[in-house]
Amino acid sequence: LQTVRALLNNNSTVTVLRSGLHAIFNEKSLDVTKDLFQEKFRNPKKRQKNIQLKCLKNFISSLTSSTDIRDLLSCLSSDLQTFVIKPSKSKEAFKEQASDFMLKWNLLLSNVGKILTINRTDSFG
């Protein structure tokens, strides 16, 4: 946590990271990941609408206005409340939705890390 705080306190590091993250979206590098989130075999009414990508975009936007780790975690917490916790109608639905979110969130972050590592090494400061 202290390492993250030190990196977030370095404006040039945060600027390069934001640039790398924006480039990933602009270059459509995450298209393969987006395809994995499409639940083609489920009822279209129940299909999730890439809430993990929305959360990541909100997180990146938060990096623009603040680099305080508490603010960034608050943003993520707010998104979880909006997209995972509130829509759950029951304990079982919450467990399923939370599990699905975490699986896809981890996949998304792994792919973002891989893309940054391969194509944008400068984004790691």
Largest CA distance in the chain: 46
Q: Which of 54, 106, 49 is nearest to 78 (CA)?
A: 54
Average pLDDT over residues 11-27: 81
CB hemisphere CA count around 78 (13 angstroms): 11
At 15, is the secondary structure helix, strand, or coil?
Answer: helix
Q: Evaluate whether residue 83 is within a structural domain.
A: yes
How many domains, the chain? 1
pLDDT in tens, 39-98: 544 544 444 557 888 888 888 888 887 778 888 889 889 999 998 899 888 999 999 989
Q: Evaluate whether residue 125 is within a structural domain.
A: no
pTM confidence score: 0.72
Question: Do the beta carbons of residue 4 and residue 73 sit within 8 Å?
Answer: no
The residue among 34 and 95 whose pLDDT is bigger is: 95
Q: Evaluate whether residue 124 is within a structural domain.
A: no
pLDDT of residue 43: 45
Q: Evaluate whether residue 52 is within a structural domain.
A: yes
Alpha carbons 118 and 18: distance in angstroms, whole number = 16
Residue 1 above 80 pLDDT? no
Q: Evaluate whether residue 101 is within a structural domain.
A: yes
pLDDT of residue 37: 53
Residue 2 above 80 pLDDT? no
Domain holding 32, by residue range, is 4-119
Dihedral sign, CA of 27, 82, 40, 96? Answer: positive
DSSP for 36-96 reads HH--TTS-GGG----HHHHHHHHHHHHHHH---HHHHHHHHHHHHIIIIITT--SHHHHHH
The residue among 121 and 83 whose pLDDT is bigger is: 83
pLDDT of residue 47: 44
pLDDT of residue 92: 92
